[in-house]
A and B are shown apart, each in its own frame.
Chain A
Amino acid sequence: MADGLPDRDISRGTKWLLLVSSLVVIAIMVGEARSNLSAEWRRHQKEYHKLLLAKALDEANKETARSFNIALQQVVVPELGVTDRCVSCHTGIDNPHMADEKQPYRLHPGTFLKDHPVSRFGCAICHRGQGAAVNNADAKAVHAYWDYPMLPGKMVQASCGQCHDPKAMKGRGGDILARGARLFESSGCRACHKLGGRGGALGIALDDEGRRIIHQLPLTELKGEHTVWNWLAEHFRDPRGVVPTSQMRNPTLTEPEIEALTTYILSLSKLTIPEDYITPDKYEQKYEALRPGRPNGAELYRQFCFSCHESGTYSRWDKISGRFIPAIRGKALAASPAGYLRRNIELGRDGTQMPGWRKSGGGLSNSEIGALEAYIRGGVKPVEMTASAQGRGNAGRGRALFAQNCRGCHGSGGKGGVAPALGSATFLSVASDAFILSTIKNGRPDTAMPAFQRAGTAGLTDVELTDLLAYIRSMK
């Protein structure tokens, strides 16, 4: 008996293994079969089948309805990389008889499918979401680790921007998107954000902002739903409420405007769409960007300058950046020497938030900068400054004079304060000696800069002015 025991035990163990593993396999098969047979899409197709039978009045329609085959449906469009199974539940999406049914049996609203047949576009290219999913929650994928969850109804217009010019969508089913596109230009977003190479550098470029994934955004301060569209909307309501360190000015928009701007931002995408799908209006938009018409100075000012300088006729303390933003428009200011204003626009002011707007910077063409300059000058002719230096100044003496007379506003070492930073490389290269001397001598009307030498009063002497100039020139 003792010899036979091990053999018997092995065979008994094997039998148990066989029994348990077979039962596990059976359980898995039963589970699979059940989940397959009770799938959400199957339920919806059965319901749709019933609707078809109920709606079929004549014998031919009844025959068609009876022959309706319950099967998983899939739309594949290789050109767009689309594999969408949405039609497995939305079976009536292009059936006009289903206009009054409830979801998911209902006909697609509007005439969108006439120009965009499901077989050529699929669904997720406009609605986003997980096209290959076969149940509602997975298809929407809002709280899943899915990059592009389904867009809320109204914001689907964002997707029109892939193949259409957003502004051309007005009256063509894309009113919200078109409004957002106009708001983007009129709200001065480009003062800090680049789009298509045009705009400031303080904020991020927005060319691909519509393809941002929620997990790339800071969420700790976000109050509502964790979706990109809610993040954008809350950010427009109160930029620092979502990103405490944001330098963005509050755009002060109404709720419908926020919805429109959010929709527009969601439309910004660098995704390449095959040529066949691009519409003529999109080509026109691109053509206009390449061949702009006559620039409009006032419009350019609104787009690129207004956000910081506002009307430009007063200096103001900016709480967000913690700096003074100088006045740039006004009769006396406009009378600066030829080239001074223009080069400031072109080069910006390093060390401040003011970027350079030339082609390689903010992306403006020469004629656009010309139009901006003309608008800022407001018709006032530039004045040539004539004050000249008295020999070579003494920078050491100038330094002491600067500490007494200038540092209060201009800050020590040319860093700037209430008044502009004189140590700015742009300023030092753009401002001529005559301009600096005249400005100290006569002040700068329209600003807080007083005259330091006036007939009949005890001001600085010409020699002292020259010393100051030498000191200012030594700042670098």
Chain B
Amino acid sequence: MSDKKNENGISRREFLTKGALGSFLVAMGGATVGGFALPKPTVSPGPSRRYKLGDPGKFPVGTAMKMDKENIFLFRDVEGFYAITAVCTHLGCIVVRVDDGFACPCHGSRFAPDGHVVEGPAPRGLLWLEVSRTPDGGVMVDADVEVDLGTKLVV
């Protein structure tokens, strides 16, 4: 086991050391990258919160309805479709639609028609949910995807 050098000038011991360290780093790197995928599961363990609504033609411009089971308000105006959750950001009560926006029956929070807070104790506005097209041409609300206030689906 002498430090005999080969033609490239690298001894066998050096080669082993470098190879071992190199492959260790590659393995660690790969595992770290893979590890980042772990906190985000591929599929949700609970029931899907994507609600298919079908043909957009069923909702004429001016539609303002509550999806009772899902607790989502669905609107369609000249600009397009948008959905606002009916769950109050304070303690999760279901807000009702009033003339000047939404009101929470539990602690009196009031929201503007676009969902932003007008009066406490709610810490932030009602969430806007993603409305998208399904491959068969229908519309769908995804209650798991929050979008910026004012995002509307143009149909």
**Closest CB of chain A to B15's CB: distance in Å?**
10
Q: Is A73 an interface residue (CB 8 A)?
A: yes
Asked if B20 and A18 sit within 8 Å, CB to CB, the answer is yes
**Closest CB of chain A to B45's CB: distance in Å?**
7
CB < 8 Å: which of A15, A22, A63 contacts B17?
A: A15
**Would you call the interface of chain A mostly helix, strand, loop, or mixed?**
helix
Asked if B135 and A64 sit within 8 Å, CB to CB, the answer is yes
9 contacts between A and B (CB under 8 A): A19-B16, A19-B19, A25-B27, A61-B137, A63-B133, A76-B48, A78-B47, A94-B136, A97-B135
Asked if B136 and A96 sit within 8 Å, CB to CB, the answer is yes
CB < 8 Å: which of B20, B34, B44 contacts A16?
A: B20
Q: Is A388 an interface residue (CB 8 A)?
A: no
Q: Is A296 an interface residue (CB 8 A)?
A: no
Q: Is B155 an interface residue (CB 8 A)?
A: yes
Give the residues in chain A near B135, CB-CB below 8 Å.
Answer: 52, 64-65, 68, 91-92, 95, 97
Give the residues in chain B near A26, CB-CB below 8 Å.
Answer: 23, 26-27, 30
Q: Is A400 an interface residue (CB 8 A)?
A: no
Q: Is B6 an interface residue (CB 8 A)?
A: no
Q: Is B31 an interface residue (CB 8 A)?
A: yes
Q: Is B38 an interface residue (CB 8 A)?
A: no
Interface size class of A (residues with CB under 8 A): 35 or more
Give the residues in chain B near A74, CB-CB below 8 Å.
Answer: 43-44, 48
Asked if A72 and B43 sit within 8 Å, CB to CB, the answer is yes
Q: Is B107 an interface residue (CB 8 A)?
A: no
Asked if A119 and B52 sit within 8 Å, CB to CB, the answer is yes
* B18-45 contact mask (Cβ, 8 Å, vs A): 1 or 0: 0111011011001100100000001111
**Closest CB of chain A to B27's CB: distance in Å?**
4
Q: Is B46 an interface residue (CB 8 A)?
A: yes
Give the residues in chain B near A18, CB-CB below 8 Å.
Answer: 20-21, 23-24
Q: Which residue of A lies closest to B50 (CB)?
A: A119
Q: Which residue of B lies closest to A17 (CB)?
A: B20
CB < 8 Å: which of B23, B45, B155 contacts A22?
A: B23
8 Å CB contacts to B: which residues of A84-115? 85, 91-92, 94-97
Given contacts A65-B135, A67-B133, 15 further A-B contacts (CB under 8 A): A8-B1, A15-B17, A15-B20, A22-B26, A26-B30, A60-B133, A72-B42, A72-B43, A73-B43, A76-B46, A76-B48, A92-B135, A95-B134, A97-B135, A97-B136
Q: How far apart are the CA atoms of A23 and B24 in the complex, in Å?
A: 8
Q: Which residue of B lies closest to A117 (CB)?
A: B52
Q: With a 10 A CB-CB cut-off, give which of B21, B34, B134, B137 has the most chain A CB atoms.
A: B137
Q: Is A77 an interface residue (CB 8 A)?
A: yes
**Would you call the interface of chain B mostly helix, strand, loop, or mixed?**
mixed
Give the residues in chain A near B17, CB-CB below 8 Å.
Answer: 15
* A121-138 contact mask (Cβ, 8 Å, vs B): 1 or 0: 000000000000000000
Q: Which residue of A lies closest to B37 (CB)?
A: A36
Q: Is B13 an interface residue (CB 8 A)?
A: yes
Q: Is A10 an interface residue (CB 8 A)?
A: no
Q: Which residue of B lies closest to A75 (CB)?
A: B48
Asked if A119 and B48 sit within 8 Å, CB to CB, the answer is yes
* B41-70 contact mask (Cβ, 8 Å, vs A): 1 or 0: 011111110001000000000000000000
Q: How far apart are the CA atoms of A73 and B155 in the complex, in Å?
A: 26
Q: Which residue of A lies closest to B51 (CB)?
A: A119
Give the residues in chain B near A16, CB-CB below 8 Å.
Answer: 16, 20
8 Å CB contacts to A: which residues of B107-145? 132-137
Q: Which residue of A lies closest to B17 (CB)?
A: A15
8 Å CB contacts to B: which residues of A145-192? none
Q: Is A12 an interface residue (CB 8 A)?
A: yes
Give the residues in chain B near A22, CB-CB below 8 Å.
Answer: 20, 23-24, 26-27
Q: How far apart are the CA atoms of A25 and B137 in the complex, in Å?
A: 45
Q: With a 10 A CB-CB cut-off, give which of B26, B135, B155 has the most chain A CB atoms.
A: B135
- Contacts known (A73-B43, A95-B135); A60 close to B155, Cβ less than 8 A: yes
- Contacts known (A19-B23, A22-B23, A75-B48); A85 close to B43, Cβ less than 8 A: yes
**Closest CB of chain A to B48's CB: distance in Å?**
6
Give the residues in chain B near A94, CB-CB below 8 Å.
Answer: 52, 136
Give the residues in chain B near A95, CB-CB below 8 Å.
Answer: 134-136
Give the residues in chain A near B30, CB-CB below 8 Å.
Answer: 25-26, 29
Q: Is A289 an interface residue (CB 8 A)?
A: no
Q: With a 10 A CB-CB cut-off, give which of B1, B20, B42, B48 has the most chain A CB atoms.
A: B20
Q: Is A271 an interface residue (CB 8 A)?
A: no
Give the residues in chain B near A67, CB-CB below 8 Å.
Answer: 132-133
Q: How far apart are the CA atoms of A459 and B130 in the complex, in Å?
A: 101
**Closest CB of chain B to A401's CB: distance in Å?**
80
Q: How far apart are the CA atoms of A18 and B46 in the complex, in Å?
A: 41
**Closest CB of chain A to B119's CB: distance in Å?**
37
Q: Is A71 an interface residue (CB 8 A)?
A: yes
Q: With a 10 A CB-CB cut-off, give which of A29, A78, A92 has the most chain B CB atoms.
A: A29
CB < 8 Å: which of B1, B34, B48, B133 contacts A64?
A: B133
Give the residues in chain A near B1, CB-CB below 8 Å.
Answer: 8
